[in-house]
Every structure is written in C-alpha cells, then in structure tokens.
C-alpha cells in the first residue's frame, strides 16, 4: 500500500466514521421520532439485530446478482421512509425524495460500471444513502430507549462475529466483493483514481449508534468518549493496521475488520462511563408532556 | 420493542378473532408498559388507540360486534344448561343472532342467577364472588383461573398506561371482603403494576383513617372504596381537624353506589385528591365504565355489549328516556359463568342522539347511574330517581354522610324521612325547599330511626376487629 493510499484510506475512514457519529447526535438533538404506545428498545432487540447481522450476509450471497440491488433498494427505501418521517412530514414529498435519491444511486452505479471515471459520483451518492440510513437506524434505536450497556454488548458481539467471519469462515471478504459497485451497496466510501476507502454499513451503524446512545446516556462526556473511541478504534487503528502489518511481514491483509478493535474498546468505554452514574433515560433528556385528559380518564 | 410489538399484535389478533387471550403475554405487556414509562416517563402518542381501539369504520365495528355476539351465544348454547334452554324457549338460533335481533332473547335476571346458579357454569370454577346483597338476596358468581389472570392484566395495562397506578403507589383497599373477585383482581393489578397494596376492608372508619393519615411511605397514595364509606371518612377527618396537608393520597376511586358531586367535592377538599367514580358489577365483570367530566357513564364496547332497555317494554330506550343497563360480556373475556343480556337494573337515561363533546367522546355513553330501577318512585309530579334525592340531601349544609333516609309515595306525593343525626341544622322545611328547587315535590320529616331501619349502604357491611376493644 502506497503512502498516499494509506493516508487517503485513513482520512476518509476517519471523516466518514466521525461524520456519521456526529450526524447521529445532531439528528438526536434536532428531530423527535414518533414511538409506539408501548415498548422500549432493550437487549432482546439487540439479539434480534444480531440475528439479522448474521443472516443477511448469507441472504445477500445467496441472491442472484440481478436481485440484490432491488432487495437492497427496497430495504433502504423502507428504512429511510420510517426514519425521516419527522424530517419531511409530507409523505408524498418524502417518497419522492427517496425515489430520486435511490434513482440517482442506481443511475450512478450503472454509469460507473461502463465508465470508471464516474466512480466518484456513485460513491458520493451511495455513501450519502448509506450514511442517512445509518443515522436514521441509530436514532430509531436510541430514541426508542436503547441503553448504552446494550450497545456495548452488541459491539462486543460484533467484534466476535467479525473476527470469526473474517478468519474462520471468510464470508466478509466475499460479501465485500459481491456488493462492490452495485447500486445500494451497503457500504460508504470514496474512490478517486487509484485511491479508495470503504466502510461497511454495519460499522457505520455501530459508530452512529454508540455515539448517539452515549450522548443520550451521559451527555457531552458520553459523546466525547464515544467520538474518541470511534476515531481511534473505529478509524485509526483499523486503517493503520494493514500498512503496519505489511511493513512488518511484507504481506498486506485483504481486509481488517474494524469491529475487532472497536467492539472491546466500546465495551470498556461503557464500563468507564458507567462509573459516572446511571444512564439518563429519554424522560431525562426529553421530559414527557402531561397525559391528556382523554387518556387519563 | 420488537417483542412488545409482537405481543400487542398477538393480543389484538386474539381479540378480533375471539380466541382465548394468552394471559402470560398480557402480563408481559404490563411489564412492557412499565419499562416504557420508566424510560420515557409516559406511553407513546397513540396510547389512546391502544386503550380504546382504532376509530374503525362503523360497519366494521358492527360486524365485529355481531361476530362476538354469535360467538358468545353459541358457546353459551353449547356449554350452559340455562342458556341452552333459554335460547330454545325464545326460539333463537345463536348462529344467526345480531345486535338487531338479540332483543328476542329475554333478559337474564338476578332471580335467574340466584335460583339456577349452577346451570350458568361453562368452565372450571376457581373463585366465587358474592354480591353484597344490599339490594336483595346476594348472587354468587364463579370465575375461572383464566379470567382471574386475564382481567387484572388488562386492568393493570390500562391503569399503568393512564398513569393511574405507579410503581411508587401504595393502594389502600377499603371494600367489603365479600367482593372476593374485586379484591383478588386489585391485588394482582397492584402486583403487576409494581405498586404496594394494603387490604384493609370495611373496618370501622376510625381504624381506616388512622392508616390513611400521614405524608410518608406507610400512608396510602390511592384509595379504593365506596361512596358511603368515603362519606364516613370525610366526616371523621373533619372532626379530627385533618386536611389535605395531612394525607398523601393522589387519587380516590369509588364505585358501586351513587356518588354525589357534594360528597366528591368534600372528599377532594378534605383529602386533597380527586375522586373518580367508576362503574362495575360482579355479575357482568369485566364490562366496566368510567365517568367523564360531563358526568356521562362511558362503557367500553369492545369487551361486551351494553343496551339501555326501556323499563316497561324492554325495547331499546328512546334518546333521552330512562332505561336499565342490560349487559352481555363477550367471550373470550368471560369464560366460567357468563351472562347474556343480564338486566343489571342500573338505571340510566339514554343520551340524546347528538355527538358527544367530552374527553371520552369516542366511547359510547349514557347518563350517570341514577340508582336501581326498582327504587324509582312514581309520583304525580313524575318519576323520582335515587340519585335525585341523594344529590339534594348530600348537598345540605353540614350534612353528615352517608345520608340516612327512607322514602315512600303517599297519595302520589313523595314522603321523605331523614335521620335527624344526618340533618344537622336543616329543618324539614329547608330540606323540602331544596328538594323543590331540584324539581322534587316532597314532604319531609326528621326521624330518630336507626341506620338499619333506613336506606342501607355498603358501609353498613363494616367488619369489626379486636383493635381498640378492652380485653
């Protein structure tokens, strides 16, 4: 790996990881998502999410190439429609914007396929779609009452998952190769000439989720801790490790799963933050309105 | 969140399809509600839809009601000896029954229930509850284990989501120990809602007041009792010079008797907590109602069917006319000893056919309960309802609740005798004047007769203990 590639990789990864984390917190501060009458996100939801994390790659790999973009596109469209309802209240306008965004993604991917000089627009549009999705999903969970302890355990489980599927059963690389260049590929990054950097959507979701929930749970100190962990263990270590390994062994690893660094760090970060006291609840962050008379009756 | 959603979906499906509700799932929904309130401080915005159901198309609602009716009647024809005969005698096929044709089934009376109690059984009995018998011979109603787990779960869910019960509450239960079903359910509700409960019963009021006074943890925050007993507590508290600062009550729930605005207001002033009047009946549980700010009685139509039937003809009462509440709890809410078209004899007035404007406008309503139909007094000036009299008497200056009186009609005129001990400084002429102002023409006399010779109240079911007695 060249020095330019290494620097590009590190800076883009750092920018995207911190960007999605800060965007998640900004969304949390500015937008209130509706919630059902009964139900708060809890550890069971993380188990279910982990189930999806395990199952989806197999589904993606099993799907014929032609079916993959429609499936991913529909999933993204549904997710964006739910997460950005309070931002664009008109359902018609919201669906119009989502359709335009996804159409642009599809068109850019098709164009880039035939002419690699169009790779930059594709990556910009696809990254925007994926980051919007990660920010929305993180907020659905955070504003749904998810606790930092649940996210920390989820991150730890993801670390184990990533390690297993990157080494014992190397599915991560296969998945990475399978979706690269497709419209709605679940990854964000940038490619300029020979320089490239890509992060998986799962990584982005974890960074946005951890940062947003840490902010919800412990305010500014929680956010500072989370951003530090995302920067160091989510961006710097995973991007500097390949070049370091190459320098030491002469062999450049094909893939370095970021979660094997971030998961344990996130868990320890939670243990440190926990010493500050109990996590804030949504009721502390956003005090509820009085119960209407029609409900209390 | 996901599992709570699944549980809500399963419960909604069981309710719509009329299948038995998974009780454990309902209990876990209460836990979900508690977790929601712990995290957010309140339930989500669409809580009203969860509690009262979505505003469905009237035709759809009618279809669902007809299906529930046929399901309930069909099960009764199969399992209840009484109803098998009852439907056959009426020439009614349960499979074709609708809201429009159910009037062909004669009402079930309390006499039927008392005389043929065993013939109503449709399931395995677990707990018997006896009515207080203040209006006649007590009736015994059996509930199954399923019912005794389901109802508290549904009530707890509703109460937790409405903020009526909190984990920090201590509920004080001052209801007759005969009301075993209510007592059992109240304990289960408190357990599921994370509250504490003190089962006091109808002990002498001074013992209850001793337990109620205080602003710290052992003092109750919620009280469940009868209006007549509440009246005794108010009098006693005033005699002791107690006021709102001496209590930590935040809500008082009463039912089973007529609650007058005067008594409710006095209780609120004395205890510093709002008094909520509810409607329920051992025989038709879990059909129940609540009173809105405009003093309508709202009864949830999803759990059972409530009719207001003309006292003379038994046909549906006309708008504005008097009628008795005839209730049919639906299966699967009622399983062991269900009743079909049970005539409660609770008297109400059908509201005019105009849109409601109260805070519970989306729930069907009647007037407030006016008393028992058998206690209506026919005078030359028209019918006089128990509520009419109680509201005037309770509002007398210096009234000592509960107001002990007896009435009869002589030569078409109401004659009222009021216990002198309750009248305070009000002369018979003063009282007659107040009755006249309320549109009741009556002669009034004071009497020294004892309580048991006058109108009976549930507070008369007092349960004595050895406390405070010489050894």
Binary contact (A37, B162; C-beta < 8 A): no
Instruction: Measure in Å the smallest separation between the Cα of B123 and chain A Cα atoms.
Output: 33
Peptide bond between residue B286 and the one before it cis (omega within 30 degrees of 0)? yes
**Chain-chain contact of B163 with A40 (C-beta, under 8 angstroms):** no
Q: Where are the domains of chain B?
A: 376-455
DSSP B422-459: HHTT--HHHHHHHHHHTT--EEEEEE---GGGS---GG
- Tell me if residue B415 falls in helix, strand or coil: strand
Residue among B165, B137, B157 nearest B251 (CA): B165
Determine the residue of chain B that is closest to A282 in CA distance.
B40
**pLDDT, tens digit, 9 for 90 and up, residues B197-232:** 999 999 999 999 999 999 888 899 999 999 999 999
Which residue range(s) make up the domain with A82? 3-282
The total number of structural domains that make up chain A: 1
Residue B52 pLDDT = 65
Residues of chain A with pLDDT under 70: 1, 115-118, 178-179, 290-297
C-beta atoms of A38 and B2 within 8 A: no
Cis peptide before B332 (omega within 30 of 0): yes
Residues 6+ apart with CB under 8 A from B60: none
The pLDDT assigned to A286 comes to: 86
Q: What are phi and psi of B118, to 5 degrees?
A: -65, -25
CA distance A116 to chain B (A): 43
Chain B nearest C-alpha distance from A288 (Å) = 6
Query: What mean pLDDT comes out for the span B92-114?
Result: 91
Contact: B46, A145; criterion CB under 8 Å: no
What pLDDT, on a 0 to 100 scale, did the predictor assign at position B471?
45
Q: Is residue A87 a part of any domain in this protein? A: yes
Annotate B210-221 with DSSP letters as a single string.
HHH--SSTTS-S
pLDDT at residue A294, as a whole number: 56
Q: pLDDT over 70 for what percent of chain B?
A: 97
- Could you tell me if A134 and A187 are in contact, meaning their C-beta atoms sit under 8 angstroms apart? no
Q: Does a structural domain hold residue A53?
A: yes
Interface of B with A (CB under 8 A): 1-5, 8, 29, 32-33, 35-36, 38-51, 161-164, 290, 292-293, 298, 359-360
* Residue A253 located in a structural domain: yes
pLDDT of res. A246: 82
Is A71 inside any structural domain?
yes
Predicted confidence band at B468 (pLDDT cuts at 50, 70, 90)? low
Q: What is the pTM of this model?
A: 0.83
Tens of pLDDT, residue by residue over B271-302, are 999 999 999 888 898 899 999 989 999 988 88
Burial profile B432-443: b = 16 or more Cβ within 10 angstroms, e = fewer: bebbeeeebebe
Does the distance separating the beta carbons of A38 and B43 come in below 8 Å?
A: yes
Interface mutation vs chain B, best among A35, A38, A292, most B CBs within 10 Å:
A38
| DSSP-derived secondary structure for B265-283 | HHHHHHHSS-EEEEEE-GG
Whether residue A293 is contained in a domain is answered as: no
Question: Does A38 contact B50 at a Cβ distance shorter than 8 Å?
Answer: yes
Residue with tokens 């039912």: B255
| H/E run at residue B110 | helix B110-115
Chain B residues inside the 8 Å CB shell of A44: 2-3
pLDDT number for residue A290: 66
Task: Classify residue B68 by burial, with Cβ atoms within 10 Å: 0-12, 13-18, 19+.
Answer: buried
User: Given a cut of 80, is residue B329 above it in pLDDT?
Assistant: yes
* pLDDT tier for residue B404 given thresholds of 50, 70 and 90: very high
**Per-state percent for chain A, helix, strand, coil, to nearest 5:** 75, 5, 25
Is residue B85 over pLDDT 90? yes
CB A112 within 8 A of CB A120: no
Kindly determine whether residue B163 and residue A282, on different chains, have CB atoms separated by under 8 Å.
no
ipTM: 0.82
Residues A283, B41: C-beta atoms closer than 8 Å: yes
Q: Show residues of chain B in contact with A295, CB under 8 Å.
A: 43, 47-48, 51, 161-162
Residue B165 binned pLDDT confidence (cut-offs 50, 70, 90): very high
Distance from C-alpha of B423 to C-alpha of B400, rounded to nearest angstrom: 7
> Are residues B40 and A291, on separate chains, in Cβ contact within 8 Å?
no
pLDDT above 90: percentage of residues in chain B: 63
pLDDT in tens, B361-380: 888 899 999 988 888 899 99
Best B3, B30, B41 member to test A by mutation, with max A CBs in 10 Å, is B41
Rounded to the nearest angstrom, the gap between the alpha carbon of residue B176 and the centroid of all alpha carbons in its chain is: 14
- Confidence grade of residue B334 (pLDDT, cut at 50, 70, 90): very high
Q: What is the dihedral of CA A292, B159, A139, A267, to 10 degrees?
A: 140
**Which residues does chain A have within 8 Å of residue B278's beta carbon, measured at their own beta carbons?**
none
Residue A236 lies in a domain: yes
CA B467 vs CA B176, B204, B206, B210, B233: distances in Å: 18, 10, 11, 12, 18
Residue B343 in this model has a pLDDT that exceeds 50: yes
The pLDDT-based confidence of B59 (bands split at 50, 70, 90) is confident
CA distance B331 to B265: 39
In the 8-state DSSP scheme, what is residue B382?
Answer: E
Chain A residues near residue B1 by CB distance under 8 angstroms: 36, 39-42, 45, 144-145
Is the pLDDT reported for residue B55 higher than 80? no
- A280 contacts in chain B (CB < 8 Å): none
Contact assessment for residue B318 and residue B350, using Cβ atoms and an 8 Å cutoff? yes
User: What would the pLDDT profile of A215-262 be if each residue is shown by its tens digit?
Assistant: 999 999 999 999 999 999 999 998 888 888 888 887 877 777 888 999
In contact, B450 and B441? CB cutoff 8 Å: no
The answer as to whether A128 is a domain residue is yes
- Listed ranges A46-60, B40-54, B326-340, B450-464; the one with the highest mean pLDDT: B326-340
Q: Is residue A290 part of a domain?
A: no
């Amino acid at each position: 790996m060249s020095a330019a590639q290494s620097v590009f990789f590190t800076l883009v990864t750092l920018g995207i990881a911190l960007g999605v984390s800060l965007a998640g917190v900004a969304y949390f501060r500015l937008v209130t998502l509706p919630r059902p009458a009964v139900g708060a996100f809890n550890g069971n939801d993380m188990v279910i999410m982990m189930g999806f994390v395990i199952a989806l790659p197999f589904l993606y790999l099993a799907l014929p190439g032609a079916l993959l973009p429609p499936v991913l596109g529909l999933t993204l469209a549904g997710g964006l429609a739910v997460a950005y309802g309070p931002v664009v209240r008109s359902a018609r306008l919201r669906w119009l914007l989502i359709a335009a965004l996804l159409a642009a993604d599809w068109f850019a991917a098709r164009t880039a396929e035939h002419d690699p000089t169009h790779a930059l627009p594709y990556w910009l549009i696809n990254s925007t779609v994926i980051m919007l999705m990660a920010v929305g999903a993180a907020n659905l969970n955070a504003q749904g009452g998810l606790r930092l302890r649940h996210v920390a355990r989820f991150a730890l489980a993801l670390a184990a998952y990533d390690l297993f599927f990157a080494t014992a059963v190397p599915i991560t690389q296969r998945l990475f190769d399978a979706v690269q260049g497709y419209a709605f590929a679940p990854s964000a990054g940038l490619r300029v000439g020979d320089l490239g950097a890509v992060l998986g959507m799962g990584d982005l979701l974890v960074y946005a989720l951890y940062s947003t929930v840490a902010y919800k749970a412990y305010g500014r100190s929680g956010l500072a801790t989370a951003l530090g962990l995302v920067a160091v263990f989510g961006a710097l270590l995973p991007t500097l490790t390949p070049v370091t390994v190459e320098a030491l062994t002469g062999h450049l690893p094909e893939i370095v799963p970021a979660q094997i660094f971030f998961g344990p760090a996130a868990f320890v970060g939670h243990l440190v933050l926990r010493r500050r006291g109990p996590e804030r609840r949504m009721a502390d962050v956003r005090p509820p309105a009085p119960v209407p008379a029609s409900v209390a009756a | 969140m996901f599992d709570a959603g699944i549980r809500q979906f399963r419960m909604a499906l069981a309710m719509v399809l009329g299948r038995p509700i998974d009780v454990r799932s309902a209990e876990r929904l209460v836990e979900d509600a508690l977790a929601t309130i712990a995290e957010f401080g309140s339930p989500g915005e669409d809580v009203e839809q969860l509690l009262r159901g979505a505003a469905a198309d009237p035709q759809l609602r009618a279809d669902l009601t007809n299906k529930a009716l046929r399901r309930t009647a069909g099960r009764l024809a199969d399992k209840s000896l009484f109803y098998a005969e009852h439907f056959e005698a009426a020439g009614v096929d349960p499979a074709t029954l609708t809201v429009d044709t159910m009037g062909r089934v004669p009402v079930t009376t309390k006499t039927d229930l008392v005389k043929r109690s065993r013939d109503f059984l449709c399931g395995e009995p677990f707990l018997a509850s006896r009515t207080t018998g203040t209006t006649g011979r007590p009736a015994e109603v059996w509930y199954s284990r399923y019912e005794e787990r389901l109802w508290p779960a549904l009530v707890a869910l509703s109460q937790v989501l409405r903020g009526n019960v909190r984990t920090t509450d201590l509920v004080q239960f001052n209801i007759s120990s005969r009301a075993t079903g209510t007592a059992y359910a109240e304990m289960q509700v408190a357990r599921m809602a994370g509250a504490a409960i003190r089962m006091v019963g109808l002990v002498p009021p001074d013992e209850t007041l001793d337990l109620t006074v205080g602003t710290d943890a052992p003092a109750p925050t919620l009280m469940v009792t009868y209006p007549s007993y509440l009246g005794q507590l108010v009098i006693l508290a005033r005699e002791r010079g107690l006021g709102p600062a001496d209590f930590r009550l935040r809500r008082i729930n009463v039912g089973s008797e007529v609650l007058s605005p005067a008594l409710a207001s006095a209780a609120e002033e004395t205890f510093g907590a709002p008094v909520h009047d509810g409607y329920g009946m051992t025989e038709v549980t879990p059909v129940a109602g609540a009173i809105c700010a405009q003093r309508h009685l709202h009864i949830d139509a999803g759990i059972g069917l409530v009719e207001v039937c003309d006292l003379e003809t038994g046909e549906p009462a006309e708008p504005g006319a008097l009628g008795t509440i005839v209730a049919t709890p639906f299966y699967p809410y009622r399983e062991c000893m269900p009743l079909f078209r049970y005539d409660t004899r609770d008297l109400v007035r059908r509201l005019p056919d105009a849109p409601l404007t109260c805070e519970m406008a989306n729930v069907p309503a009647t007037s407030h309960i006016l008393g028992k139909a058998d206690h209506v007094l026919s005078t030359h000036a028209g019918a006089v309802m128990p509520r009419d009299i109680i509201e005037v008497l309770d509002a007398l200056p210096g009234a000592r609740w509960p107001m002990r009186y007896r009435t009869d009609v002589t030569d078409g005129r109401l004659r009222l005798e009021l216990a002198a001990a309750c009248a305070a400084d009000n002369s018979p002429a003063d009282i007659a004047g107040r009755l006249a102002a309320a549109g009741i023409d009556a002669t009034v006399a004071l009497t020294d007769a004892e309580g048991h010779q006058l109108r009976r109240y549930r507070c008369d079911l007092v349960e004595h203990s050895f406390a405070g007695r010489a050894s």
